[in-house]
Structure 1
Amino acid sequence: MQYQACLIDGFGITIQRRGIYVKLFNSRTIISTAVATVLALNSGLLLAAPGYKGGQDLPLTFSKTILASDHGVVANDGLDDAPAIQAIIDSISIDNSPDNLIRIKLPVGEITIADEVHVDRSGIVIEGQGVDAKTGTHIVINSWKPYTGVAEDGSPTFEKKYWPGFAAFRAETRIKHKKEQKFEGSINYHWKHSIELAQPALAGDTVLVLKAGRAKRFEEGDLIYIGATNDAAFLDLAEVPENMRTKGNIKSGHMRHQISHVTAVDTANNTVTIDKPLDFNMELKNYNKYKSRLMPVTAVENVGFRDFTMTMNQASTDCATNNTDEYDKKTNPKGVGHRYENVCPADAIHGIILKWANNSFVDNVNINMIGSHPVVTEFSKNLTLQNIDIDGSWNKGAGGHGYFRASKLHDSLIKDNDIQNVRHLAIQWSSSGNLIEGNTINADLNMHGGWERNNIIRNNTISVPFAHRSWADGAPSDGSWQPIWFSSGIHASDWAGPTGPNNVFINNTLEKANSADTPITRWGLFDTQGVTYVFGWDGNQFKHPVINGKPIATWNNEIAKGVYDNIPTSAVFVAK
């Protein structure tokens, strides 16, 4: 197959054949030249399936099984089992090979967690004995109220270097960097202290030229974080308004990043070679003198969670007087169903955090009424998140709470999950190369901002009730959220910047209720079966969504319809 390079935010591919076959996600699908062009932008999507070890089956055999009941984990006694589980993990070598898979088998019955369990060694799988109410493993979180306070907007406050907060299970290294000893995991923040480029890089590059002496900080096989500064040319492309470019997250951040493997190191020429071409340009620094940077990543690998249920003990929280039914100002003011506030922020404990994790998974887990995010990722790659049944969250308000949150996630698979009564299934913060497939959702599929790109969203069923709508001043607002939410530069630059190029929607069932008195019916936008909708693409290059040539300022039903009605000039490319 022959390709010819062209520029799409610095990189693009034009297929020189019409109606070609492309191997995509282990399937053989005939697609048009236009769609092949889009999908080829992310070479990883063409070379391997996303998810655990590039689409491999999840592991079922182990070098060792540790029965947690033999090490102080006692079911059904109401006592905190977190110290005993942590002791089992800590007994495993910190240098355990990812290929030396060790299963920690939890007993049948109710397991109590009253502190964060750090899964900070590679090769560990936390496994229950199923999700069945009678024969399975049920993890109950007793809130230990880990947050330091509550901000003015109602979100919990904490040291943001510990982002995204606290969880029952946290898969992340605990190693500290010598310059940042205040918190665990700081080894992955030493990029703030140098490792910079000696010359700009272009999308499509695989060899990066570093400042003198910096290449020796890398070894072949390392994971490498690559972050591009938000230079003025990029912000112009992204339609970030001038008055928002003084915001900290815009002037001093990396809206574009990727995580790759190092395949070669040349210390004589101060270069590193990566296994996946850049899909963005990298200037040395921006208008605020904030620099592009790289760092070797200390990741946990081959970590898994499977075969258990998880919930929060309501009685142990400030939510004790609330209930899970639908909120109604008159008849049920204590309900949290579709209530987008943080009703007990001191207890906004997540279910599972995967941060700086590679080749890891969550499979066959039920998470019901957790403190905030049932599952949340940060700076992770090649995850499989599948067969997860989610129902509700106590806190779904300001500060980004109550999501199935795929943040800074790369080359991963989110498949066959039942996601109910949370705020969003959010894809955000430079997430790229992911496949979101076969999920059933009664919230919205939310492209939440921060240059998410090259993601494929297909064969999902998204049914949005009228009650799924924004809140303001302690009450629901008029109108209802849409099955798809898409970030614009003007709106999303408040927190992250816009969604990036080539987010592909294929064969999704999209439904919503237009009023409290009408049933959920077909939305009618971006949902024609057999039609591929490519957002942020004009057929040749990235383009911010527009209506009649004017960049959209936000996203609502009227704007979504305007974008749809103005295809293809609205920056949604369509192919059949």
Structure 2
Amino acid sequence: LPDYSYAGYKNGEELIPNQGVVYLATDYGVVANDGIDDSKALINAVDELRAVDGSVILELPAGKIILSDIIYIERSDFILRGAGSGENGTILYFPRPLMYVHDPEPLKELREYLMEFDKRQREEKNNIDLAFSQYAWSGGFIWTQVPGERVKSYLEKYERPVNVLAKVTSGKRGDFTVTVKNNNSLKVGDVIELQLFNKDGEKGKIVEELYKNADVKVGTHHFNFPDLPIVRQQLEIKLIDGNQVTFKSPLTISIDTSYEAQIVEWKHLENVGIEHFSIEFPMTPRIAHHIEQGFNGINLTRLYNSWVKDIVIVNADSGILTEEIANVTIQNITTRGEHYAHYTVAMAGVHNVLAENIIVENSAEHPLSFNTFSTKNVYKNCTIYKKPVLDQHSGANHQNLFDNITVHINELKGDSYPLFAGGGAGYWKPSHGAYSTFWNINIVLESPHLLKDPVLLNGMLDGPHARVIGIHGNTSFLVKYEPLAYIKMTNQSLHDVPSLYDYQLNSRLNYD
């Protein structure tokens, strides 16, 4: 099993902070419960506080605040705090979707990509042939970013040279130390990005390493873009000793010279917090998959050692979206409403992110999802009440953990249920790499006393070398997970170690 205990704020070693100089949003003209849009006032408050030194808390008043524009958070040491997510707390109400906001500059490349490649949702039986929305998997009304910094590659014309700090020649999976050619541009405390490439085509050694030579079809994106990294980790440098560089968290795969690995500069924000309020959207009908209008709550990009906590999200297309963040904790989030969502709390292109106590009360296409390039992330102590799927969404994602998850299944498909169905485009298949893990998954079936035979949990055909341990519930189950899965302790609740993350973290901290 990989060591997942490095996920979350400060690698799980420190509590989320609660400090900073408090500034009241009401002093900038934000007024709750007056029926007037407060977008300009709140944007002005955030903009003015960008220049304030030290840790800053922008405190929102209790009551309903109407907003219709994007709130960009673009500085470190900043907390956006409400008066609570429950009764008598703060409600951010967005009456209109993002499609009515001026096209965001950070999504310009995505918009051009969708048009150039004619990305469309085609469902002949439903008479649907519609262009993808730029907000299907990106964007949000609360949006963290480093201005001008790209977070995802779509078109070659937008590629820019990166600031290479060192070339890496070797390192072992699970170890913390790599060998570099030149360390002159590195220093202890730097947060960098480690990049690994596939320069050797369809049969490249890094592809074999990701999928451990399993008999799975490998999509073309693994070898059609040799100049883009196929494995990335955002890491903090702990020690430099000659040509040996030691990080605070371990490598996901061993490094071979053919990967042309490198350490590059990674611009990001730190100590950003979003907490203690609810986000509400009006109920709207779903059009189709990928045609979302943009009722998206929070979009996290370019964050390190940051957090989102105590947020209730109602009727969203996507509650919380992520891209290129690391060591972030997302906790105590509830998504609900009658609107059919695309994502609830999604992980895409992220590393060492901990999402805990995520309660999914609404129906969603991908209730919990590890997406492209996601590595060493954890969903822990989460509950899905409707149409559960533990989604792994293709794109070289590997070594992610579903930990102590409870799912409620209200309708079987015959005598089975596709709990492990993986999404994603064919050019990024298979669904995940080696060692992705399911630990202590509790299945709650409606009317289990009516069943005579064990229920088959399936849905995964191209997820090699998974670890599926402790699948259990209120009836008897069979587990089918292909290919080459390590399946143990089915129909056993792991009472002694309910959370693998907690066990590994406690073991590490006690050992240290």
What's the CA shift string for 1:206-259, capped at 9, x where partnerless?
A: 4545566xx444432121111222351232452586783367776554342222
Query: 1:297 maps to which residue?
Result: 266
| Distance in 1 of aligned mates of 2:396 and 2:244 | 27
Q: Aligned ranges for residues 83-482 of structure 1 at < 5 Å?
A: 83-93=40-50, 96=53, 100-133=54-87, 135-141=88-94, 142-145=96-99, 146=101, 151-153=119-121, 154=130, 156-158=132-134, 164-176=137-149, 192=162, 194=164, 197=167, 199-204=169-174, 206-209=176-179, 215-230=183-198, 231=200, 232-237=204-209, 238=211, 239=214, 244-245=219-220, 253-264=228-239, 272-283=245-256, 292-313=261-282, 319=284, 322=285, 336=286, 341-342=289-290, 345=292, 347-370=293-316, 372-392=317-337, 396=341, 401-420=342-361, 421-424=363-366, 425-441=368-384, 442=386, 443-466=388-411, 482=418
Please tell me whether the aligned partners of residues 348 and 394 of structure 1 are also in contact (alpha carbons under 8 angstroms): no
Q: Which runs of 5+ in 1 are unaligned?
A: 1-37, 323-335, 470-477, 527-534, 537-541, 546-559
Q: Report the residue type matching 1:464 in the other structure.
A: I
| Distance in 2 of aligned mates of 1:377 and 1:393 | 23
Q: Report the residue type matching 1:405 in the other structure.
A: A
Please tell me whether the aligned partners of residues 126 and 306 of structure 1 are also in contact (alpha carbons under 8 angstroms): yes
Q: Aligned ranges for residues 519-530 of structure 1 at < 5 Å?
A: 523=455, 525=457
Q: Report the residue type matching 1:275 in the other structure.
A: K
| Distance in 2 of aligned mates of 1:312 and 1:155 | 23
Give 1:387 deviation, angstroms. 1.5
Q: Report the residue type matching 1:67 in the other structure.
A: L
- Compared with structure 1, are the counterparts of its residues 480 and 86 closer, same or farther at alpha carbon in structure 2 (3 Å cutoff)? farther
Q: Report the residue type matching 1:501 in the other structure.
A: A
Query: 1:498 maps to which residue?
Result: 431
| Distance in 1 of aligned mates of 2:45 and 2:233 | 33
Please tell me whether the aligned partners of residues 229 and 283 of structure 1 are also in contact (alpha carbons under 8 angstroms): no
Please tell me whether the aligned partners of residues 52 and 361 of structure 1 are also in contact (alpha carbons under 8 angstroms): no
Please tell me whether the aligned partners of residues 65 and 90 of structure 2 are also in contact (alpha carbons under 8 angstroms): yes
| Distance in 1 of aligned mates of 2:444 and 2:270 | 38
Q: Report the residue type matching 2:383 in the other structure.
A: T
| Distance in 2 of aligned mates of 1:504 and 1:247 | 22
Give 1:525 deviation, angstroms. 4.3
Q: Report the residue type matching 1:431 in the other structure.
A: S
Q: Report the residue type matching 2:237 in the other structure.
A: V
Query: 2:500 maps to which residue?
Result: none
Give 1:103 deviation, angstroms. 1.6
Q: Which runs of 5+ in 2 are unaligned?
A: 104-110, 122-129, 468-476, 495-512
Q: Report the residue type matching 2:193 in the other structure.
A: Y
Please tell me whether the aligned partners of residues 190 and 295 of structure 1 are also in contact (alpha carbons under 8 angstroms): no
SS in 1 for 2:65: strand
Give 1:408 deviation, angstroms. 2.9
Give 1:93 deviation, angstroms. 4.4
State percent identity of aligned pairs. 21
Give 1:169 deviation, angstroms. 0.6
| Distance in 1 of aligned mates of 2:455 and 2:337 | 24
Give 1:92 deviation, angstroms. 2.7
| Distance in 1 of aligned mates of 2:330 and 2:255 | 31
Give 1:573 deviation, angstroms. 4.2
Q: Report the residue type matching 1:483 in the other structure.
A: L
In the alignment, which of 563, 566, 574 is matched to residue 480 of structure 2? Answer: 563
- Compared with structure 1, are the counterparts of its residues 250 and 84 closer, same or farther at alpha carbon in structure 2 (3 Å cutoff)? same
| Distance in 1 of aligned mates of 2:52 and 2:250 | 30
| Distance in 2 of aligned mates of 1:198 and 1:417 | 37
Task: Give the aligned CA root-mean-square deviation in angstroms.
Answer: 4.2
What's the CA shift string for 1:503-543, capped at 9, x where partnerless?
A: 332322124679xxx99x985649xxxxxxxx97xxxxx73
Using CA pairs below 8 Å that are at least 6 residues apart, which structure has the higher relative contact order?
Answer: 2
Aligned length, in residue pairs: 438
SS in 2 for 1:449: coil
